[in-house]
Chain A
Amino acid sequence: MKTDALQVELGRRYRFAASHRLHSPHLSEEENYRVFGKCNNPYGHGHNYVLEVSLSGEIDPATGMIANLADLDAFVERHVLEEFDHRSLNEDVAAFRDKVPTTENLCIEIFHRLKHFPHAKLERVRIQETGNNSFEYAGNTEGNDA
């Protein structure tokens, strides 16, 4: 017997280019270099990030959609891309003034920005920093992100 409900998720990818520098004010210069290596270069460096957003919800029978892509695109544009694309994450995004802009932290920051999307439930965000590195965050399992 199959008792588990069928779950459908909508996934959408966005791209943004940004620079960052991995540096902690709590570490010495030597420790920063030891921990972060070339990512600690004082002038920073950049990536073409790929952001993958997954949403769940009922498929509206009238539209066939979990969420209208135009609504989702506008929401992601307003809450993430406008502030992140072609910017310095360290200098231009307030959340990273006192937090190292690793892609782990970027996932958490973006999840918090997108979790209030009103038309469907945000399941997770996944970010590719390069073709070889990707990170995922699905919210706090204790439910504090709900």
Chain B
Amino acid sequence: MVLLTRKIEFSASHLYHNPNLSAEENRRIFGKCNNPHGHGHNYTLEVTVAGEPDPVTGMVLDLKELKEILEREVMKRMDHRHLNYEVPELAGQIPTCENIARVVWQLLEPRITQGKLHRIRLYESPDLFADCYRQGGSGAGN
């Protein structure tokens, strides 16, 4: 098995607010991420696909195809968008790094038919990220 990773970057705004909590609780739990006008990040997404290289092409999957899937599923949905208001898949969820990563996984997994989605890592900043993988798929760590 060979792992192939492609990286993309997108910029988006968000804020953390739970309408079921009081203003004080929101402020206490979410801190400055609760600012009502939101704020933004440059997100970096690393998508890792596992598979055997095709004997004819030598590829696990065609990178052009992966690029198109990422463009359609992630960039069109999230790049230069407000994650709270413009991404229906995140409706009703706090758009934390963990939740965005989970949504990205759910969007990508059924689209990747050559090879198998192995792991994604979403960076909100260089020091904060979320990893998503299937347990038993040994996606952790490496």
Contact = CB atoms under 8 A, between A and B. Distances in A.
Interface of A: 2, 4-14, 54, 59, 61-66, 68-70, 123-124, 126, 136, 138
A8 B20 CA distance: 24
B120 to A, nearest CB: 10
B81 interface: no
B29 A7 contact: no
Contacts of B126: 13
A65 B102 contact: no
Nearest to B125: A13
Given A7-B139, A7-B140, A8-B101, A68 B93 contact: no
Interface stretch (B35-43, B64-72, B127-135): B127-135
Given A13-B126, A63-B18, A64-B94, A7 B134 contact: yes
A11 B135 contact: no
Contacts of A124: 140-141
Interface residues of B, number: 34
Contacts of B128: 11-13, 69
Contact of A64 (B96, B105, B135, B139): B96
Nearest to A5: B135
Contacts of A7: 132-135, 139-140
A25 B106 CA distance: 54
Contact of B95 (A54, A64, A70, A123): A64
Contacts of B29: 63, 68
B98 A62 contact: no
12 contacts: A2-B134, A7-B139, A8-B102, A9-B140, A10-B98, A12-B127, A12-B129, A59-B96, A63-B96, A64-B16, A64-B99, A123-B140
